[in-house]
Amino acid sequence: MIVCAVKDLEKYLALNKNFSKVIEYLKNNDIASLPLGRTDVCGDEVFISSQEFEGKTKEAAKLETHVKYIDIQMPFSVVENIGWRSLDNLSSPSQPYNENDDIAFFDEPSTSYVTLQPGECVIFFPEDAHAPGIAEGKLRKAVIKVRI
């Protein structure tokens, strides 16, 4: 997991061949104003899921993991807290891995939390189980999916 200001994402270009596509898109587009739903940046290699929903409580936020994609998550409207726990410290998923949606869910609690202000982001890798959407009020955010 990496937490940084969105403007500093360029420092992490070497971590994945598709990060350059993300940086280029962010430089030339206002992703905070994208319509809700999926926006393709480079087909299934890089796409953005723009979301808006009522924030969840810590208890309601479920840990999730992905196998095919790295998540870059950034809030726009309000402060977002996201739970974290190492995949190595989880037992069996409560909802097994769904290959089509690239997601598995776990009922175990997060072991730590990161707080993101608008203008900040977090990068989650497959070993990072995360429980997003913990916020007060309506949360508008983007999740950039980057193929591993």
pLDDT given at position 81 = 98
pLDDT given at position 70 = 98
* Contact of 125 with 70, CB cutoff 8 Å: yes
pLDDT given at position 120 = 98
pLDDT given at position 134 = 98
pLDDT given at position 53 = 98
Measure the CA–CA gap between 36 and 50, rounded to whole angstroms. Answer: 5
Q: What is the pLDDT of residues 57-101, one digit of tens each?
A: 999 999 999 999 999 999 999 999 999 999 999 999 999 999 999
DSSP assignments along 62-106, one per residue: PEEE-SSEEEEEEESSS-EEEEEEEGGG--S-SEEEETTTTEEEE
Any bridge partners for residue 77, and if so which? none
Q: What is the pLDDT of residues 110-141, one digit of tens each?
A: 999 999 999 999 999 999 999 999 999 999 99
Measure the CA–CA gap between 28 and 60, rounded to whole angstroms. Answer: 36
pLDDT given at position 33 = 96
Any bridge partners for residue 42, and if so which? 44, 46
Q: What is the pLDDT of residues 13-50, one digit of tens each?
A: 999 999 999 999 999 999 999 999 999 999 999 999 99
* Contact of 120 with 79, CB cutoff 8 Å: no
What is the rounded radius of gyration, in angstroms, for the C-alpha atoms of the chain? 14
